[in-house]
């Protein structure tokens, strides 16, 4: 059976309230960076499902168009991957801001990962 895939790695950040855009030179850029506890606190886990309804609607249309002839595989970014994008503003190799937050304020880092875990889980359950 042929396969088709879709990626929703950054959609969860958008659902939480941190929008992004695609750069002309490739990659993504976050609208703002998470720099403080206030930035993390303003991420709205409860809003993810509503804000990302367009993904569930699109998936329903795609599944219908595939007519059970092609498997559709989807995924979302892990909380660690999302944290790095949301802290750094795009893809990174060194994870310096995530590591710095982890070591300087472990409870805030844990709060961020808890929010991201809840958001990713809720999103994937809704998109199913």
Give me the tens of pLDDT residue by residue for the chain, a chain 128 residues long. 554 445 556 789 999 999 888 888 877 788 899 999 999 999 999 999 999 998 889 888 988 998 888 888 777 889 999 999 899 887 778 889 999 999 999 999 999 999 999 999 998 888 76
Residue 42, φ and ψ in degrees, nearest 5: -80, -5
| pTM greater than 0.75 (yes/no) | yes
CA distance 59 to 72: 9
Using only C-alpha atoms, what is the Rg of the chain? 16
End-to-end Cα, the chain, rounded Å: 20
């Amino acid at each position: 059976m042929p396969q088709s895939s879709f990626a929703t790695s950054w959609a969860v950040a958008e659902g939480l309230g941190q929008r992004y855009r695609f750069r002309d030179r490739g990659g993504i850029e976050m609208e703002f960076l998470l720099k403080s506890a206030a930035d993390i606190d303003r991420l709205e886990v409860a809003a993810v499902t509503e804000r990302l309804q367009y993904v569930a609607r699109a998936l329903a249309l795609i599944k219908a168009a595939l007519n059970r002839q092609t498997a559709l595989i989807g995924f979302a970014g892990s909380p660690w991957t999302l944290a790095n994008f949301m802290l750094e503003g795009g893809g990174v190799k060194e994870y310096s801001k995530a590591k710095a937050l982890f070591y300087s304020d472990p409870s805030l880092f844990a709060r961020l990962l808890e929010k991201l875990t809840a958001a990713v889980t809720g999103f994937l359950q809704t998109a199913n």
